[in-house]
Structure 1
């Protein structure tokens, strides 16, 4: 049998396509795996991050922190 005279060349192309799709799936699809638990930031953590970035002042931080702690 002559495999490279066009008789089975299409199968070689199909395998390349399968490999490319597989590699693209592994490297380019986001890592959101179903049923994977992700740690959600608490409101207090978000508030601390905003204060650390300088998005809010110390007064705003303290006031918001007091409100969050009173809700619990």
Structure 2
């Protein structure tokens, strides 16, 4: 939970200067157009991530999976 909170705060602090810099370079409409594109990229990549040490994203969870790994 702390990592998600940290990422949210870092994003909140970084997005404004990045959009401002882009708006200066290419215009406000184009700079704001980057935000939905970035959101789509993040959504597309979300399924490819997994928690370290906890198997693949589609792996079954629960007591059955735990017993299977433990050799019971």
* TM-score class, shorter: 0.3 to 0.5
Query: Greater relative contact order: 1 or 2 (C-alpha under 8 angstroms, separation 6 or more)?
Result: 1
TM-score by length of structure 2 reads 0.33
TM-score by length of structure 1 reads 0.33
Structure with the higher fraction of residues in helix conformation: 2
Q: Say which one has the larger Rg.
A: 1
